[in-house]
Amino acid sequence: MNDNLQLNSDGKLKHFLTIEGLDKTLLTEILDIAESFIGMSDQQIKKVPLLRGKTIVNLFFENSTRTRTTFELAAKRLSADVLSMSIATSSTSKGESLLDTIRNLEAMFVDMFVVRHAISGAAHFIAQQTAPHISVINAGDGQHAHPTQAMLDMFTIRQVKPDFSQLRVAIIGDILHSRVARSQIQALNTLGAAEVRVIAPKTLLPAHVESLGVSVSHNLNVGLKDIDVIIMLRLQKERMTSALLPSESEYFKCFGLTEAKLKIAKPDAIVMHPGPINRGVEIDSKVADGKQSVILKQVSNGIAIRMAIMAMAMQTQGAV
Ligand code: ASP
């Protein structure tokens, strides 16, 4: 999906649906604007008036903890009025179509939709159908994309290792079903990472994965060599339609990140995970809670990144 739909005629962000088609300058601008928000969380009054008077609706058709709450906090810190809708408890479950739900919310003078949906392309569809003044942010669509997660990951990496051109990044685990991995690979390649390496069993890799711009390893002991950034992924069991693995314990033995395996990477490598983490399945607790882990930092950074993207899409970041 190449989304010129994301940019307005001046090349500014209008919707944020996928990393694909966005250039390095724009991704860097997102990171820089997020940087300007990062200190705010320590202040006594954690608010700026950038989106005062704007109405944002979080439309979550799929469960979420981190993404939904950090979007909500981000909107509140920008002084927007924010409404979070859990669709399991709304009219779509009574048979109302997605488009009817959107039309009804539009009639309430909404300025932005933040959308999570189990179907790939859902946010894109809403962006195409909704009124022209409304911005749409993709908070994860099926197996397709999770661009705000990828950007908060890039932000977290840049805080510790500022020069992407020096970085070898390993993404480990269920690449096949991961919208996060797809967006991360696009972001890392756009920002000029030296190498993006995927490490996974063959059954958890998409066909022709190299065409995404990655190198491939099926062996964690070999694949972790020279790595600066380790990104672990959850087994997306809800998306597995057949048995792709012998067992979770077998998977952990081969692809789980333990303290011993971590030593194969560079000594100052950082460990990341988009969450939710499954301890003892893809990552050992000692690593998840260890000193090389930046997993909770990723969560905190999610607020600043989402503030930046919402402000940019509403064309108000100039006031920052
Ligand atoms: N939270 C991420 C997502 O929504 C990763 C995951 O669920 O494993 O895709």
Determine the residue of 138, 146, 172, 279 to mutate for testing ligand 1's pocket, defined as the one with the most ligand atoms within 8 A of the Cβ atom.
146
Distance (angstroms) between ligand 1 centre and the Cα of 318 equals 31
Give the Cα separation of 73 and 134 in Å (integer): 20
Determine the residue of 60, 115, 178 to mutate for testing ligand 1's pocket, defined as the one with the most ligand atoms within 8 A of the Cβ atom.
178
The answer on 166 and 98 residing in a single domain is: no
Res 182: pLDDT: 98
Look up the CATH number of the domain holding residue 176: 3.40.50.1370
The answer on 165 and 138 residing in a single domain is: no
Res 88: pLDDT: 67
The answer on 138 and 25 residing in a single domain is: yes
The answer on 90 and 228 residing in a single domain is: no
The answer on 265 and 129 residing in a single domain is: no
The answer on 195 and 282 residing in a single domain is: yes
The answer on 247 and 119 residing in a single domain is: no
Residue 290 structural domain: 147-295
Res 317: pLDDT: 58
The answer on 189 and 138 residing in a single domain is: no
145 with 87: CB under 8 angstroms?
no
Nearest CA-CA partner of 114 in 104, 123, 125: 123
The answer on 169 and 220 residing in a single domain is: yes
Distance (angstroms) between ligand 1 centre and the Cα of 247 equals 21
Contacts of 305 (CB under 8 A, 6+ apart): 30, 31, 34, 148, 151, 152, 155
Q: What angle do CA 149, 45, 114 make, to 5 degrees?
A: 30
The answer on 313 and 280 residing in a single domain is: no
The answer on 308 and 207 residing in a single domain is: no
Res 89: pLDDT: 55
Number of domains the chain contains = 2
Q: What is the pLDDT along the chain (320 residues), one digit of tens a residue?
A: 444 799 998 899 999 999 999 999 999 999 999 999 998 877 777 899 999 999 999 999 998 989 999 999 999 999 999 999 887 655 666 667 888 989 999 999 999 999 999 999 999 999 999 999 999 999 999 999 999 999 999 999 999 999 999 999 999 999 999 999 999 999 999 999 999 999 999 999 999 999 999 999 999 999 999 999 999 999 987 777 767 777 888 999 999 999 999 999 999 999 999 999 999 999 999 999 999 999 999 999 999 999 999 999 998 655 44
Phi-psi region of 270 (alpha: psi -120 to 50; beta: other; left: phi over 0): beta
Res 319: pLDDT: 43
Nearest-atom number in ligand 1 for the CA of 179 is 9
Q: What angle do CA 68, 73, 76 make, to 5 degrees?
A: 130
201 with 228: CB under 8 angstroms?
no
The answer on 171 and 106 residing in a single domain is: no
Residues with beta carbon inside 6 Å of ligand 1? 140, 146, 179-180, 234, 236, 274-275
Res 86: pLDDT: 81
The H or E element containing residue 232 is strand 229-232
Distance (angstroms) between ligand 1 centre and the Cα of 65 equals 10
Res 320: pLDDT: 46
